[in-house]
Structure 1
Amino acid sequence: MTNLKVHGTAPQDLEGDLASLRGDCARMVEHWTAPDRITALPVPASHIHGVTVPPASARLLDAMSDYGD
């Protein structure tokens, strides 16, 4: 048997407009947390490495069209 009870809040209008989306986001904001401040630490140059792509993969990617052309 299917439980049709709904728990929590869900968007009321799935085909809604921007105002509806903004309202949904405003209701969710209390559930989102972010750190007060993020401090980026410098990375030594010795930790930065290049990207190596095998020739077969490079040919495969080169043969792919961009954006479905």
Structure 2
Amino acid sequence: MTNLKVHSPAPADLEGDLAALRVDCARMAPHWAVPPHAAPRPVPPSLIHGVSVPARSARLLDAMSDYGD
């Protein structure tokens, strides 16, 4: 027979407010490591291949303004 009882490690706080949520987030933050940010390197044009743009799409993009309408 299967045991259908579920035990959570911490009781759910259904009456919590924003302050309680902020405390919980601050408590958990050290567990989330942020990876170091690496600047993207430019890709040389020789590595870009297989990209084709239909002439109609190129004309459409060329006719668009740089900052939108």
Range into which the TM-score falls when normalised by the shorter chain: 0.3 to 0.5
Which has the higher Rg, Structure 1 or Structure 2? 2
Structure showing the higher helix proportion among its residues? 1
TM-score by length of 1: 0.41
